[in-house]
Structure 1
């Protein structure tokens, strides 16, 4: 058994390398999006550090800094998904990268003046643009990689993201301490300009069939996506599971940021190390990707149990006082979160109709990220009122409950399928 697993891992690694070498468009996208993730990690670390410093570590205001970055995504993720199904996805992504570069430069002025309203406003703008980019990006990735290799492309993107976030947050904390937040914001802007160039030179071999300039309005297309979601029980339960999870997951980085402020003296290096565990978790999850993609049932079970594991690990985090052990525990929790994503995203797009992929991706991202943003503010306030341990227990409990909700649906679905087969004599 172990020997077979090792052989599969080696074969999968060789397949990764061959895929990167063969598909030049994917290679450019991988490079550009990895670099922009690196810059965005710098930005996130700098914004959170500024908010903690300006507010004296106030829970609600710190939660708002993270929550506002995501609160606008319900509209803009859905809008980005609709546009991705109607227009040229490559040009749409390029326009968003340029807009993100401009927004990153505006942070330089907001940071230098120490204006909380300006920081909050730019955070909302950055979140909206990023939401639209994420919705179009996942569908364009499938155009470039091809449906048969989409799982592999998604795993490679996660490896790139993991390396970028690990280095970006780790280096970002050190850079903030050495050169200040303004230089970090400039580097973020440059990363989006580089991503623009890479996307411009990364056209797929042929245009996707789903890309069309239809006569229907954006509102009609959006409503069509909602109707399709409601008509598919598996899709609907997947999106609901993600939405429930977000009500707990939204508290993760707020509580961790406050933990750094209270327990580790608001050290930007320690904050960067905690945020860097996002990358470590992504890399750890990517390492076990070969167990995915072997069938609906196995991937679906991974989705549920990953949520349960993530929730339980986060409940334990505030009870650990050692910094190294805290970092390891947080990395393990995030590995479960990314394993969920590696199983969830391909399954979601496979269950959606081809012409609806952008809309379903946008609706899913918009719902869960907007709730995530709201939950970030709420958990920040709860952490201030109840303490970190109680807030973490609530957040972790909700994440675990999301997994149990999905596992219960699977159990009932499998029972119903078995009954149908028995009644039909199969």
Structure 2
């Protein structure tokens, strides 16, 4: 008897369809050619073992960091008798190193192996939390000690930020980079939502000292994730020119690359004038709606939930980020921020914070992914340090301006003005950079490429061979 023999392609398709059956007997969608469609881009990115471990470690560590920030403010208030200016000094000392040493962190990220640099910086931050926890638990803590440790923590963070952001591309490669950036943003927003609430419960139960010790222990999770990573599986640049690392090269490349100049300049305006919701939400809650701390907490939670939804939505995208998406997201964010300033009541203001948070994270993740994808791997750390400087460095400038506008024209107008500046800046910068790029391309003359000189089999130049080449070209042209 003869058996019917299936073709190899039909066999593969049949096996793929059989494998697509789940326990309940439902079929998953199968592409042509027998390949199953991935459940989502986010889950496909999480399948990378090293990135998954790194992401979990970052979630644990960031939750501990947000716990320490809340407990640190409470400790300073306790030491100074509820002095708001002392808390302001503490915040300034912790973020000042980003302005002073952030660009140097980008140089270090390109000069040294990012994984090893992160082990050093994360260990330094863990030691800082441990020292602060021991001083607090033993009762030896003082205000100046908190200030010094906050400055040291900010210094380690400034050196850590460029390497940590650039390291994501080495974990997943350029194909999954946009999804990985969104997932990283999602874990940050989850930690931001959980950390302060957990800190409040922990301080109420055991005071501030144990919170610092918990944060110190949380760094073990991210250190474990870094240590177990296999260096041969990283998507690191193969050619490593560590000798001549100059920061000026990064500014030159950014200035001459529209795909880098647009996201960095847009995020500079939005970071300075638009991303000041820590100030504006509190001003609106207190001065406009005359509400208390609980109502302010609900507003902050609504903005955080919207941010988390935006991060998860970005993690599921299949297409890489584009300039059009960045400009569109920025215009939408600016419009929503301006509309938030026009909301008549507390309920409508709370509801509009959900899509506003979603749009704000879309702007940040798109700009971050565009910067990383268009940066040369050997220069990614320095370029990201410039990006982080304009993103975080604009807050010390924008926050006082928001307060000044609020005192002069009202808290609502600070939101309207910030949103309008963000939207107009995105459209204007896009038009200017696009026009400049086209003008440069049109004005650049085409340069004739000279043919290489005739070389013999002995590796030397032969004039007679050159004459023969010229004669043959003349005959062809005739």
Q: Same fold (TM over 0.5)?
A: yes
State the TM-score, normalizing by the size of structure 1: 0.79
- Classify 1:188/1:113 alpha carbon distance in 2 versus 1 (closer, same or farther; 3 Å): same
Pick one of 52, 58, 71 that aligns with 1:33: 58
Q: Map Cα deviations across residues 350-379 of structure 1 (whole Å, 9 max, x no partner).
A: 222221111111121123312223323443
Contact 1:97/1:193 (<8 A) preserved: no
C-alpha separation in 1, matches of 2:374 and 2:385 = 15
- For 1:137, the equivalent position in structure 2 comes to 164
- For 1:333, the equivalent position in structure 2 comes to 356
- For 1:203, the equivalent position in structure 2 comes to 230
1:135 deviates by: 0.8
Contact 1:76/1:128 (<8 A) preserved: yes
C-alpha separation in 2, matches of 1:165 and 1:121 = 24
Q: Map Cα deviations across residues 179-235 of structure 1 (whole Å, 9 max, x no partner).
A: 54444333322222321222222234345226746223xxx5212222222222332
Contact 2:341/2:416 (<8 A) preserved: no
Matched, 1:354 2:377: yes
- For 2:173, the equivalent position in structure 1 comes to 146
C-alpha separation in 1, matches of 2:368 and 2:362 = 10
SS of structure 1 residue aligned to 2:242: coil
Q: Which has the larger radius of gyration?
A: 2
Pick one of 233, 236, 244 that aligns with 2:261: 236
C-alpha separation in 2, matches of 1:123 and 1:259 = 29
Q: Return 132-141 or 300-309, whichever deviates more.
A: 300-309
Matched, 1:192 2:215: no
C-alpha separation in 2, matches of 1:319 and 1:253 = 18
Higher relative CO (Cα under 8 Å, sequence separation at least 6) belongs to 1
SS of structure 2 residue aligned to 1:288: helix
- For 1:166, the equivalent position in structure 2 comes to 193
C-alpha separation in 2, matches of 1:201 and 1:209 = 20
SS of structure 2 residue aligned to 1:82: helix
1:329 deviates by: 2.8
Q: Map Cα deviations across residues 136-165 of structure 1 (whole Å, 9 max, x no partner).
A: 012211111122222222222223223222
State the TM-score, normalizing by the size of structure 2: 0.71
- Classify 1:259/1:124 alpha carbon distance in 2 versus 1 (closer, same or farther; 3 Å): farther
SS of structure 1 residue aligned to 2:232: coil
- For 1:101, the equivalent position in structure 2 comes to 126
Q: Map Cα deviations across residues 25-69 of structure 1 (whole Å, 9 max, x no partner).
A: 1111011011112122223344456678868796x7766655554
C-alpha separation in 1, matches of 2:152 and 2:317 = 35
Matched, 1:91 2:119: no
- Classify 1:391/1:16 alpha carbon distance in 2 versus 1 (closer, same or farther; 3 Å): closer
Any gaps of 5 or more consecutive residues in structure 2? 1-28, 444-478
Any gaps of 5 or more consecutive residues in structure 1? 1-5, 421-426
Q: Return 95-104 or 323-332, whichever deviates more.
A: 323-332
Pick one of 287, 305, 309 that aligns with 2:332: 309
1:255 deviates by: 2.8
- Classify 1:11/1:283 alpha carbon distance in 2 versus 1 (closer, same or farther; 3 Å): farther
Q: Map Cα deviations across residues 300-338 of structure 1 (whole Å, 9 max, x no partner).
A: 122123223323333444665866654443332221111
- For 2:454, the equivalent position in structure 1 comes to none
- Classify 1:62/1:337 alpha carbon distance in 2 versus 1 (closer, same or farther; 3 Å): farther
- For 1:424, the equivalent position in structure 2 comes to none
C-alpha separation in 1, matches of 2:442 and 2:53 = 49
- For 2:399, the equivalent position in structure 1 comes to 376
- Classify 1:283/1:163 alpha carbon distance in 2 versus 1 (closer, same or farther; 3 Å): same
- Classify 1:198/1:279 alpha carbon distance in 2 versus 1 (closer, same or farther; 3 Å): farther
Matched, 1:288 2:313: yes
- Classify 1:279/1:90 alpha carbon distance in 2 versus 1 (closer, same or farther; 3 Å): farther
C-alpha separation in 2, matches of 1:116 and 1:337 = 36
- For 1:16, the equivalent position in structure 2 comes to 42
1:91 deviates by: 1.4
- Classify 1:24/1:92 alpha carbon distance in 2 versus 1 (closer, same or farther; 3 Å): same
Contact 1:34/1:164 (<8 A) preserved: yes
Matched, 1:345 2:365: no
Aligned positions, number: 405
Pick one of 207, 214, 224 that aligns with 2:242: 214
- Classify 1:384/1:232 alpha carbon distance in 2 versus 1 (closer, same or farther; 3 Å): same
